[in-house]
Structure 1
Amino acid sequence: MNLTQLRYFVRVAEMGSFSKAAIELDVAQPALSRQVRLLETDLRVTLLQRTGRGVLLTEAGKRLYDHAVSILQLVAHAREDISANRGEATGRIVIGLPPSMGRMLTLPLVDAFKQHLPRARLAIVEGLSAHIVEWISTGRVDLGLIHNPDANPAIETIHVLDEPLCLVSASKGAARKAAPLPFTELVKLPLVLPEPSHAIRKLLETQAALAGLKLNIAYEVSSVSAILELVRSGHGHAVLAPSAIAASGQATAFRMRPLAESVLRSTLCMAVSAHKPATPLLKQATRLLRELVVSGVGAAGARP
């Protein structure tokens, strides 16, 4: 077993195809297949199940994949650590973004890296805050944006900004300035909310429990874009931060009304591993991400 074999195996597993992985890795497909076969021979197991449409991981393959990803990440971090001793912002960094942040920040992040960190390689993944925390804890993500983080000894958080939550409804003609909506009125409305693990859902459930009330949940949908589509079509109301509406690109289709309770705010933080040293690349990426969030998300939250 060697690093080349592990790297080839991981890429084939991720692409689900030898031919696609060969193109991605810029190696001949027979050479790629041979290295994976050697790995299977060495371990005396079948790692990949060949199908008519590509390949699937076997149970042994799934176990090796997790080990291989961790090993390759450790090697990458070792290289970055050596570069860090020279003060160079080089290497690969993986940044995790919530979906709404991904739509708003992906292009600015890529442009900022090209301008300020040309020797670094950037990868961006999207997921809910809970997923990003898990990925940071396991080493799959280096830096992430998360909403309303719980205490976790595996990560360190840096507060970026707070956004007030608003009731989001379908727009009906010209927008009028509305008085803040009390929580006692909010619970009477049919709501389209994300699953219970979502930060905003947990915040609303907690507030309802403290007030002895129950939310009127019409639909439970994970995707913010799907939530907004249901709201736009008149199937209910949502509770979101202004930046989510700005990122949708359909701000005129919705009407936002502030909530009266000041505790109903979404706190956005950056998160990193508590157990890994901060490399020059991580420090500079953290600075760039914070600047982009404050200028982009903060500006969206400040709009009426």
Structure 2
Amino acid sequence: MNLKQLEYFVQVAELGSFSKAASVLEVAQPALSRQVRALETELKQQLFTRNGRGVALTDAGKRLFDHSVGVLQLVSHAREDLGASRDAPVGRVTIGLPPSIGRQLTLPLIDRFRKELPSARLAVVEGLSTHIVEWVTTGRIDVGLVYNPEAQPGLEITPLLQEALGLVSHAPKGKRRITAPLPMVELSRYPLIVPERVHAMRRLLETQAALAGVKLDIAWEVSSVPSIIDLVCAGYGHAVLTASGVAASGRAAQLAIRRLTEPTPTSVLCLVTSAHKRPTPLAVRTMNLASALIRKLPR
């Protein structure tokens, strides 16, 4: 196999269509089809199945797709690394952000990136922390910001921001706002609106509750933090979030947050990169920009 075949294969897989991929790549569709067939012949695997809307990856195709993205990313990094000067990094860098941070960071990051790195390109993708870790380790993105990552050999982890979790409740206008700390043992008295278990904040909360011998009252499971805050404001229950998460919602005036204690569960936002490859000068500059902006976020 060669890089051209992998590039053609990835483009077809992402677009789900040979004709669309041929248009984007500016090659004739028969030539594109021949390259993909040659790849299938060499690997002795069918990579696509046809459906009414185009094509879909087979199981073998999905496995090859993950490898191909990583290979093409490495080649791109090599070109960028060799083509960049110390003072003016060039090329393209992709950063992954959790939705809660994406709402606060995307605009200022792109603004600073455009001013300081005009010759480079930045792509921002959003996903849960577990997905971002997977994308970093497989090479689909260059840099990730994640909450409470687990240590693993393929990951370089740099803590950026540590925040205590608190019970978030609706505080109607004119009603006295209770802000005194809340012992973890009392958390069982409050019906909670929490993300699904794949969410880093949910895993952290359940671990700390179990260690404190507290049985949580899970009233609703909602993946979106903005939706959780909407439900809290509507009186459907309480949430467990960080102060910065409340500040970013734009509805802090309607909410009261009580810091959890005994113990105090702490959420740590970390910068993650692959441990198996050296970051390009552009990736390093992007990490520095993101780190500086994170430290300026309201808390």
Shorter-chain TM-score: which interval? 0.7 to 0.9
Give the alignment partner of residue 35 of structure 1, picking from 32, 35, 46.
32
User: CA-to-partner distance for each residue in 1:218-239, whole Å, 9 max, x for gaps?
Assistant: 1223222332233233221110
Task: Choose 261-270 or 135-144, whichever is displaced more.
Answer: 261-270
Residue in 1 aligned with 2:104? Answer: 104
* AA matched with 1:121: R
Residues 87 and 280, structure 1, Cα contact 8 Å, conserved in 2? no
Residue in 2 aligned with 1:66? Answer: 66
The CA distance in 1 between the partners of 2:39 and 2:204, in whole Å, is 51
Residue in 2 aligned with 1:55? Answer: 55
The CA distance in 1 between the partners of 2:272 and 2:39, in whole Å, is 39
The CA distance in 2 between the partners of 1:150 and 1:62, in whole Å, is 26
Shift of 1:191: 0.8
The CA distance in 2 between the partners of 1:168 and 1:205, in whole Å, is 16
Residues 183 and 260, structure 1, Cα contact 8 Å, conserved in 2? yes
2:87 paired with 1:90: no
Residues 208 and 215, structure 1, Cα contact 8 Å, conserved in 2? yes
User: CA-to-partner distance for each residue in 1:44-71, whole Å, 9 max, x for gaps?
Assistant: 3543333333332223332332232122
1:117–1:35 Cα change, 3 Å: same
Residues 81 and 281, structure 2, Cα contact 8 Å, conserved in 1? no
1:156–1:41 Cα change, 3 Å: closer
Shift of 1:85: 7.1
Task: Choose 91-100 or 259-268, whichever is displaced more.
Answer: 259-268
Residues 182 and 261, structure 1, Cα contact 8 Å, conserved in 2? yes
Residues 18 and 33, structure 1, Cα contact 8 Å, conserved in 2? no
Shift of 1:35: 0.8
Shift of 1:97: 0.7
The CA distance in 1 between the partners of 2:237 and 2:215, in whole Å, is 16
Q: Secondary structure at the match of 2:81?
A: helix
* Correspondence 1:115-134 to 2 at 5 A: 115-134=115-134
Shift of 1:171: 3.3
1:110–1:20 Cα change, 3 Å: farther
2:253 paired with 1:258: no
1:229–1:151 Cα change, 3 Å: same
* Correspondence 1:179-258 to 2 at 5 A: 179-258=180-259
Residue in 2 aligned with 1:159? Answer: 159
1:32–1:251 Cα change, 3 Å: farther
Residues 183 and 261, structure 1, Cα contact 8 Å, conserved in 2? yes
The CA distance in 1 between the partners of 2:137 and 2:101, in whole Å, is 20
The CA distance in 2 between the partners of 1:42 and 1:154, in whole Å, is 29
The CA distance in 1 between the partners of 2:50 and 2:216, in whole Å, is 48
CA RMSD of aligned residues (A): 2.4
The CA distance in 2 between the partners of 1:92 and 1:293, in whole Å, is 21
The CA distance in 2 between the partners of 1:223 and 1:61, in whole Å, is 31
Residue in 1 aligned with 2:75? Answer: 75
Residues 165 and 240, structure 1, Cα contact 8 Å, conserved in 2? yes
1:200–1:64 Cα change, 3 Å: closer
The CA distance in 2 between the partners of 1:82 and 1:96, in whole Å, is 24
User: CA-to-partner distance for each residue in 1:92-150, whole Å, 9 max, x for gaps?
Assistant: 21111111111111122221211111222212121222222222122222111111222
Residues 89 and 281, structure 1, Cα contact 8 Å, conserved in 2? yes
Unaligned runs of 5+ in 2: none
Q: Secondary structure at the match of 2:172?
A: coil
Residue in 1 aligned with 2:174? Answer: 174
Residues 177 and 256, structure 2, Cα contact 8 Å, conserved in 1? no
Residues 9 and 36, structure 1, Cα contact 8 Å, conserved in 2? no
Number of equivalent positions: 295
Q: What is the aligned-residue identity percentage? A: 54
* AA matched with 2:153: P
Shift of 1:284: 0.8
Shift of 1:212: 1.8
Unaligned runs of 5+ in 1: none
TM-score by length of 2: 0.88
* AA matched with 1:290: S
* AA matched with 2:225: V
* AA matched with 2:33: V
Shift of 1:73: 1.2
